[in-house]
Structure 1
Amino acid sequence: MSDLEVRRARGTGWKSVYETLRNEILSLALQPGQLLDETTLAERFDMSRSPVREALIRLSGEDLVVTLSNRSTIVAPIEIATFPKYVEALDLAQRMNTRLAAALRTDADLKIIARRQKEFEAAVRTGNHLQMSEANKQFHMAVAHAGKNPFLASFYERLLNQGQRMLHLHFEYLERTHEGYLLTDEHQLMLEAIKAKDVERADELAHAHTRQFQDNFINFMRENYTTDVTLGSLQAAQ
């Protein structure tokens, strides 16, 4: 390998570490709270600690890992106690972006949203939760981009990123209990409301979409982890 190839490999090595760890965190292969030791990871990926450290910094920027006071790094916990505040913010962001999309979408936007919906349906058929959560995010971001407000879209994307692990648990609950459906019908209804420029209907569907996610996630957590945590609930759409 030439010196240039060595430098390029060293400069891009963090990307493969980042992508691998990100996928493992989102798919819950790496559990919330699990220790991420730089030395162990460097040995695993057969590289120095520098690209591992860079990957962890990038993951920290996405709130997927947390550096503790003793400077050790762990997979970010899923904070059940703060879930009501999270889902409240998600509901507002989802409703505002979907309302704006219904008001401002172009024909080109509709084509992109419809394509993302088809990609989500294809991901559901694979049964791969990582593909499903990524495709779900891309559908909602296509809606957000149609709303033409980059600040709201950026805030929404951060919330969607933070919620992907919870969405995996949501999918698991639905598949195991068969109590509900995997969002595809709701996505289609949202697309139809946006196409019709029906702002109020889009708002109503976006709110119901968040509430379904909330209710199933709470049911999953109570069934599997706790029976004594009050998680709160969204109010009915106004």
Structure 2
Amino acid sequence: MKTKDTPVPKETGAVRVYGVLRDEILTMKLAPGSALDEVSLAERFTLSRSPIREALVRLSADGLVTMLPNRSTAVAPMNLSQLPEFLDALDLIQRVVTRLAARHRTTEQMSAIRKAQLAYEKAIKSCVKTGQSQAMIEKNYEYHITIATASHNVYFADLYRRLLEEGRRMLHLHFKFQTLQENLTAEEINDDHTLISDAIEAQDEELAEKYAHMHAAQFRGRFMQFLNRNLTSEVQLSYQTSS
């Protein structure tokens, strides 16, 4: 228990660097493949190279940066050629953990799922207003991880966690595309989570799996719409012909 005399732990340099770089990678401010030079980062954060290296190692463990053979580091690439495989795996594992959560969740875990759902909805409302997706990405991740924990299978949960980590940058792009739609509401975005939570609470395994699959299919469809978008189709061009 903290008292007035209890010192508040200070944020270390490595933790600060990790947090800033992680946000910049997830929001694509640092593009996939961008070089991360320890010397430049040390100058930017006014730190020695040791905490910079510690932060990069942690980001590497998250799958957000790649340690190259020549000891250099880069933001992890997004391999679009493997996108169909990723989406297939996400769909399958999401269905599995959601179905198992409906079967095995405890009362306490159901309460945690509802709490995570409300936190996500609150973050969505803020994102719709500001266009800043980071809070939404984090709360979406926490919601699905809470469901994975309720599945009571650590192997499925760990695999699901890895897929969600890899999908965070795609979720950022997906949300940016969604915000181009007129009259977009937080309730509309959160509908899938509500249906999933209701099915888990009712312990309806079939319905929980169905809604988990629909949720994954919706993400797949909207992300493919993002890739196929054409923002210049209505631009009128006129050409002058030489006389």
TM-score under structure 2 length normalisation: 0.84
1:182-224 alpha-carbon deviations (Å, 9 max, x no partner): 6400000001100111101111111111111111112212327
Q: Secondary structure at the match of 1:43?
A: helix
The answer to which of 101-110 and 172-181 deviates more is 172-181
| Residue in 2 that maps onto 1:57 | 57
Correspondence for 1:152: 156
Inter-partner Cα distance in structure 1 for 2:184 and 2:162: 26
Instruction: Output the amino acid matched with 1:53.
Output: R
Q: Are 2:191 and 1:185 equivalent residues in the alignment?
A: yes
Measure, in 2, the Cα distance between the counterparts of 1:222 and 1:67: 32
The correspondence of residues 215-226 of structure 1 with structure 2, limited to 5 A, is 215-223=221-229
What residue in structure 2 maps to residue 231 of structure 1?
Answer: none
Deviates more, 1:37-46 or 1:215-224: 215-224
Q: After superposition, what is the alpha-carbon deviation per residue over 1:9-32, rounded to whole angstroms, capped at 9, x for unaligned?
A: 8x9321111111111111111111
**Partner of 2:240 in structure 1?**
none
Provide Cα deviations, 1:63-113, integer angstroms capped at 9, x if missing partner.
101123433211111111111111111111111100001111111111111
How many residues in Structure 1 have an aligned counterpart in Structure 2? 217
Q: Equivalences for 1:106-185 in 2 at 5 Å? A: 106-127=106-127, 128-178=132-182, 183-185=189-191
How far apart are residue 177 of structure 1 and its match? Answer: 2.9
Match of 2:25 in 1: 25
Residue aligning to 1:95:
95
Quote the residue 2:80 is aligned against: 80
Query: Is the deviation greater in 162-171 or in 29-38?
Result: 29-38
**Structure 1: which amino acid aligns with 2:60?**
S
Range moving further from structure 2, 115-124 or 105-114 = 105-114
What is the letter of the counterpart of residue 200 of structure 1?
Answer: E
* Cα shift at 1:158: 1.2
Q: Which runs of 5+ in 1 are unaligned?
A: 1-7, 226-238
What amino acid is aligned across from residue 205 of structure 2 in structure 1?
V
Partner residue of 2:211?
Answer: 205
Displacement of 1:141:
0.9
In the TM superposition, residue 175 of structure 1 has moved relative to its aligned partner by: 1.1
Letter of the structure 2 residue corresponding to residue 175 of structure 1: T
TM-score (norm 1): 0.85
Bigger shift: 54-63 or 179-188?
A: 179-188
Deviation of 1:146 after TM superposition, in Å, equals 1.1
Q: Within 2, Cα distance between the matches of 1:14 and 1:28?
A: 21
Q: Residue type matched to 1:135 in 2?
A: K
How large is the RMSD of aligned CA atoms in angstroms? Answer: 2.1
**How much identity, in percent, do the aligned residues show?**
44
Report SS of the residue matched to 1:121. Answer: helix
> Could you say what secondary structure the match of 1:177 adopts?
coil
User: Deviating runs (4+, > 4 A) in structure 1?
Assistant: 178-182
Higher fraction of helix: 1
